[in-house]
Amino acid sequence: MPVDDAGPDGPLPLRRRGTLGVVATGSSASGPVLHGLRAAAREQEYVLSVFSVSSRSSAAVLAAVAGLQLQGVAGIVVLDGYLLAELAPVAGIPLVPAASTDQYAGARQATEHLLELGHPTVWHLGGPEEGPVARARERGWRETLERHGAEVPPVVRGDWSARSGFRAGQSLAVESGVGAVFSANDHMALGLLAAFAEAGMRVPRDAHVVGFDDVPEAAYFAPPLTTVRQDYLAAGRRTLATLSARIDGVAVPAWGTVEAELVVRESSRCLKGA
């Protein structure tokens, strides 16, 4: 087998310049971030080798990195980038996190939009509190309310699923003064809209709702959902540019974000009560 280096256990396989590894954990193995990365790789004629692990533990991810190294990849993208601080010193190969949308800024846009419609405050249907994405979106919502001197309601927590959004919507429908809700993702917003409709609350007449992600179905919700769009292709391009530079020995910053875009649809289009 051709080699380009030798390790303590013998020769290492030749690193293939056009082959990159990806470590995916949990739902990221089939999520839009990976789809965006694949699309960017096709544009740039890279081959991606994806290693999916069920555990987010450092040991499991490090084992995945070792497996990809045996395949001879030139560098590796770790989709759950917060693990890199532990992995980078021991990996022996260029590692970068996947670039992402500025989650904080996207949540700020969503909250500002609802406040601009005249609402005194905005309720938040948040994702799992241990997740870094959910925390960033919650922080953007909370700090925007605080900056405007608005009351910060208690977070209603979901698990990213439409089912959890439905349950949250049932509880919010009986709360007094719920006129605007920012949901941390579109699937929970879908469940929320269904619960509101079941309770006799019409969106946007009785409340406004904004989601996050702009999933392909969001434009066909009832009503079509205002949401924060993430440009996964742009994020994939930025990730590959960072990794390519690292492979070439250029010390570029690892973390990169792309701008979020608020897409306004019927769920917040007209004034509440109109």
Quote the pLDDT of residue 196.
98
The pLDDT tens digits for 241-270 are 999 998 988 888 766 789 999 999 999 987
When pLDDT is averaged across residues 10-28 and rounded to a whole number, the result is 66
DSSP string, 43-93: HTTPEEEEEEES--SHHHHHHHHHHHHHTTBS-EEESSGGGHHHHHHHH-S
The pLDDT tens digits for 167-223 are 999 999 999 999 999 999 999 999 999 999 999 999 999 999 999 999 999 999 999
Q: Cis (ω within 30 of 0) for the bond into 2?
A: no
Using 50, 70 and 90 to split pLDDT, how confident is the model at 85? low
Question: Is residue 228 a contact partner of residue 261, using CB atoms and an 8 Å limit?
Answer: yes
Percent of residues, the chain, with pLDDT higher than 90: 65
What letters, b where the CB count within 10 A reaches 16 and e where it falls short, cover 33-62? bbebbbebbeeeebebebbebeeeeeeebb
